[in-house]
Amino acid sequence: MTHHMTRYMLSFVLFIGWIPCLIGGSGGSLTDIYDSPNRNSDGNLPEYAHRGKIQPEFVPTHSGNVTAALGKTALLNCRVRNVGNKTVSWIRHKDTLLLAIGRYTYTSDYRFKALHKVMAEDYLLKIQDVQMDDAGLYECQVSSTPPLSHHIYLEVAQPYTEIVGGKEIYLDEGSMMNITCLVKDSPQPPNYIFWYHNDKSISYDSPRGGVSQITEKGDVTVSYLLVQGARLTDSGLYRCQPSVGTPATTNLHVIRGNDPQKWLPNSSRQPALSVFIVLATLFINIIRQ
């Protein structure tokens, strides 16, 4: 008798597990909103079909706050266990705008996209080309009774770049050239940093030789542009271009020596010298009169 009762109970549980699928069907937009509770990817029934009704719950350790760089992509994750046939929605808190339900993106803003795999616990909200006004609270809501909510804060960082030494750098001819670039306030270190000289990408295997770059990534990423034996032709505008944030520039002047009068080319000093000679001659003539 007990064996027959067990078989009947299992059949009943299996029937209950199939009801949401029969209502939602196998296609159409409902499959973008509800997870099918029929079977897992391995063909077995989900755990809640065996254990009875279990309330959904958030997993805070996998649903934390997010910091994204301005203009980059933010990925907000909300992990929910035991969803069953409930829906999970994303709502922007500041204007209560419904952004997504399940895998269906509800907003017309193309930058937002809902990401979710069937039977997975993670419900993601992808925001491309993040802007400063995207910062704030986002609500992950489960359609239980009463509804369950978890808030995730998106912080938008604005990385900035600077070159040590300022906008003008003076260097003696023949010395080692070291231009240092700092990238600050970036959520992650930049993927790359490119250097340019007079708007041309710097080649590290050019016939010029003696040119190298060293980059140290961290909370503040530092990139060193090293050039051996600075030449007058190395003068010009240098630009540090990281993968995040805005570029930084400096104007490098390679001078002929420590004498400030030699900071300018000979052709630039000759007109000033000629004017001085003319004025001195006129002054002597006036005195003699």
Distance CA 131, CA 135 (A): 8
pTM equals: 0.61
- Reported as a pLDDT band with limits 50, 70 and 90, residue 149 is very high
Residue 88 C-beta-side C-alpha neighbours within 13 Å: 30
Where is pLDDT greater, at 2 or 93? 93
Assess contact for 58 and 65: CB atoms under 8 A: no
Exposure b/e, 145-183, CB count within 10 A at least 16 = b: eeebebebebebbebebebeeeeebebeeeeebebbbbb
- Reported as a pLDDT band with limits 50, 70 and 90, residue 176 is very high
Coil, strand or helix at 163:
strand
What confidence tens digit (pLDDT) does each residue in 45-78 have?
455 444 456 889 999 999 999 999 999 999 999 9
- Reported as a pLDDT band with limits 50, 70 and 90, residue 145 is confident
Write down the pLDDT at residue 41.
57
Residue 267 has pLDDT above 70, yes or no: no
Provide mean pLDDT across the span 110-128. Answer: 95
Residue 14 has pLDDT above 90, yes or no: no
Q: Which residues pair with 174 in a beta bridge?
A: none
